[in-house]
A and B are shown apart, each in its own frame.
Chain A
């Protein structure tokens, strides 16, 4: 299969946030089968916060992710399974276990300024013979020079692909172009882009990334992902076909798994509502969405106020515990001003 572009579907990982980490084995099997049959080359299966993410902080997995990886792997005739690992949450042993369960690609994710914590995990990925990817999250939070510096670190640790990850769905198309071009000019790895649709720009940003030289792009079926979700995989397949890029993904089968499988178990439509819009607007990590809604209800405050404050505080991915503290503080302040 000749491909100009590699589509990585993240429904079974980013979608885990929207599902409150409650994917069942049966759901995973059906999605995996559909993705494999559509010609998708890589798809990701992990807790939303990566291997080892099943916690009180982020939500316990209903089914152990290793079981889900195994179930997905059993469905694959050509597709390969990726796993996400956030150093500080998951550890090397988690990756070794995932490989035993069938993973063939690892994406090691750090905040855009903290690449050096990923060294040992990227090295392990290479040692285990995995396709090894460095994932720079919250890419909107650092200037382009910083992004380049950090991408170079990933490359020096052995990453074969480096991603610009717009975790907050905050980047605008020209900012994506600028970032991908800078990486293209400064590192020899392949470049990837992972978008979120909080400003309704995920497809436009993905297209900008590809036109600037990215060769790996992420999407999720029916946008099932954190916040307003990701670039929609089946839409991406259609758009890239119109642009005459070879993705190897067949349109009708990928539409079928999106609409006949994923849409059936989605807990809510992945629309852009007040909160997810604010996330994109103020640059807040997309997986904070459901926690902010819960905290808003618990403390009787407007969830947009919580998210705006988190943006102002420069919260980074993983700081879900801060959401409740911020909500409580806002509630306290409002009590005093009333």
Chain B
């Protein structure tokens, strides 16, 4: 099969972890990694593994646009706005892992199909990727009036960007719980836990459903969803059965990462790169971005 050529912009932790995930893809072929720091570990690793390396940012790509048709952007919201303008003028597709949210939010099990044609899609937040599938699953079985998620991540896995702008996480995730999860009202909480050894990402999803008595349908829908997410995040699992109390349903999830570049406790980072890779795969498989040659 003719693989779709892809590039990564951003040679930090996220971009580097994504590199390992793309290597396992049967639909995508990573060709280039673009960074701004020639000494970054990510660029060095990319070079060692035989990819083209550009170390002067998007400017260095301008005369090599043929290298890829889909780009993953793992830089910053501000840089992404600039990258988006350039890449879209060349007709490239962009999967945005920054908080920029220029394109629609995509959480693969909930709405990937709707946005396979989009030129720019956004990955919401790590908490969103881990919890919105569950909200969506419950909403399919019984309408969700209110959904609230609590994402607890190890301090070590929360980078300076997240820390400096924690409100962005809360706001964006809340909005996506409504928009993609289907809840009438959404609320997100993030907690950083510095325990040693670091804890795996844990997520709790509390929802209020419109009516009682749909326990079996809800449980079955959640179980199907967990299986779906496990296809791209094998370490995604429920801890125990969902708890029911009147109209309230509480679901507990743990996310263990694949341990590619991140340590496996960083399930929160892993689920972002895994979901991004999943989106790239599906875009490629649909043949919407097949290379022209």
Which residues of A pack against B, CB within 8 Å?
55-57, 87-89, 91-92, 111, 113-114, 116-117, 119-120, 141, 313-319, 321-322, 324-325, 328-329
Contacts and interface: CB of A to CB of B under 8 A. Distances in A.
A111 B194 CA distance: 9
A111 B192 contact: yes
A56 B167 contact: no
23 contacts: A55-B187, A56-B148, A57-B206, A88-B170, A113-B155, A114-B155, A114-B194, A116-B160, A116-B164, A120-B164, A120-B165, A120-B167, A141-B194, A314-B193, A316-B192, A319-B191, A321-B150, A321-B206, A322-B152, A322-B202, A324-B250, A324-B252, A325-B240
Interface of B: 146, 148, 150, 152, 155, 160, 163-167, 169-171, 187, 189-196, 202, 204, 206, 208, 239-240, 243, 248, 250, 252
B171 A316 contact: no
Contacts of A316: 191-195
A331 to B, nearest CB: 10
A321 B164 contact: no
A221 B192 CA distance: 31
A324 B170 contact: no
Nearest to B152: A319
Nearest to A114: B192
A113 B189 CA distance: 18
B195 A313 contact: yes
Given A55-B189, A88-B166, A120-B165, A314 B155 contact: no
Contacts of B169: 88
A244 B150 CA distance: 47
A328 B160 CA distance: 35
Contacts of A314: 193-196
Contact of B163 (A56, A91, A116): A116
Nearest to A138: B194
Given A56-B206, A88-B170, A117-B163, A325 B252 contact: yes
Given A55-B187, A56-B148, A119-B164, A321 B204 contact: yes
Contacts of A114: 155, 163, 192, 194
A313 B193 CA distance: 10
Most buried by A among B193, B196, B208, B248: B193
B167 A318 contact: no
A91 B165 CA distance: 10
A87 B167 contact: yes
B193 A328 contact: no
A88 B208 contact: no
A163 B171 CA distance: 28
Contacts of B160: 116
A16 B167 CA distance: 24
B192 to A, nearest CB: 5
A111 B155 CA distance: 10
B189 A318 contact: yes
B248 A56 contact: yes
Nearest to A318: B191
B240 A328 contact: yes
Nearest to A57: B150
B158 to A, nearest CB: 8
A88 B162 CA distance: 10
A55 B207 CA distance: 10
B62 to A, nearest CB: 35
A278 to B, nearest CB: 19
B166 A113 contact: no
Given A56-B146, A91-B171, A324-B252, 13 more contacts: A55-B187, A91-B167, A111-B192, A114-B163, A117-B163, A117-B192, A120-B166, A314-B194, A314-B196, A315-B193, A319-B193, A321-B150, A322-B152
Contacts of A317: 191
Contacts of B250: 56, 321, 324
B193 A89 contact: no
B166 A117 contact: yes
B96 to A, nearest CB: 22
